[in-house]
Amino acid sequence: MKSITIKGSKRESVGKIATKALRNAGRVPCVLYGGENSLHFSALELDFSKLVYTSNAHTVVIALEDGTKIDAVLQDIQFHPVTDSILHVDFYQLFDNREISMNIPVKVEGAAPGVLNSGGTLILNKRKLKIKSIPTNLPDFITVDISGLELGDKIYTADFKTEKYAFQHSDNTVICQVKISRASLDPDEEEVEEESAEDSEGTEKVEKVEGEEENKDKKGPAKEESSSKN
């Protein structure tokens, strides 16, 4: 997996006043977890653009001023509710022998015959999949080949089992599928549907007319009785 370098400076103070001063200077307060001790540092907000504002997954190399470099992944990020500026970022340190969970984007390849030839609609149910793996086995993306999908076909996470990583989803989780659209219906089937709809409408009208006649019959004798009394 590709890495993005974030240049950081260790924080001497972590109070509210110091944090506000950092943000006013265009820097973001950050915390690195996962090691023996949490590491508090700050980085320029502009350095996060390639890491945050992208659909791709990346690991991070935190390069401190003293020359220390630490491998990590983005764990959590907080944005300002109005300006959308980055308020705080949490990282989690990576170790070669320790598994990590991460969301990996799904990349679709090929053309589905059920769409091209039969007029179906391709539905991407999962744009990202959560996997668990050691850092060296983390993929940049998960490639899904749809060139064999016909109408009604689905691709499940169970179809992508590998020894390199494990999905954090059930085996019957649908990644993508080709659904039957109205354009893909057979013309004869559409005629049958239209005829059945017309028949049902006709039946409703007949029932309504019969109901009205019954009501008239019931009202009739009542009027005759009242006239005879008079």
Q: Which CATH number is 66's domain given?
A: 2.40.240.10
Contact at 8 Å (CB) between 47 and 26?
no
Claim to verify: residue 107 and residue 142 sit in the same structural domain: yes
Global pTM value: 0.72
Query: Where do the H-state alpha helices sit in the chain?
Result: 16-24, 49-52, 113-116, 187-229
Domain that holds residue 140: 100-184
CA distance 154 to 120: 12
**Structure token pair of residue 205:** 């009208």
In a structure prediction context, what are the per-residue pLDDT tens digits for the chain, which is 230 residues long?
899 999 999 998 888 899 999 999 999 999 999 988 899 999 999 999 989 988 889 999 999 999 999 999 999 999 999 999 999 999 999 999 999 999 999 999 999 999 999 899 999 999 999 999 999 999 999 999 999 999 999 999 999 989 999 999 999 999 999 998 775 565 554 444 444 445 545 545 545 545 555 555 555 544 444 444 44
Claim to verify: residue 24 and residue 58 sit in the same structural domain: yes
Claim to verify: residue 88 and residue 10 sit in the same structural domain: yes
Claim to verify: residue 112 and residue 143 sit in the same structural domain: yes
Number of domains in the chain: 2
How confident is the model at residue 12, as a pLDDT?
84
Q: Which CATH number is 174's domain given?
A: 2.170.120.20
Is 111 part of any domain?
yes
Is 107 part of any domain?
yes
CA 65 to chain centre: 37
All residues at 6 or more sequence positions from 147 whose CB lies less than 8 Å from its CB, including other chains: 109, 110, 111, 112, 113
Is 226 part of any domain?
no
In this structure, the number of other CB atoms found within 10 A of the CB of residue 185 comes to: 13
Is 229 part of any domain?
no
**Structure token pair of residue 80:** 């300002």
By the 10 Å C-beta count (0-12 exposed, 13-18 middle, 19+ buried), 30 is classed as buried
CA distance 13 to 103: 33
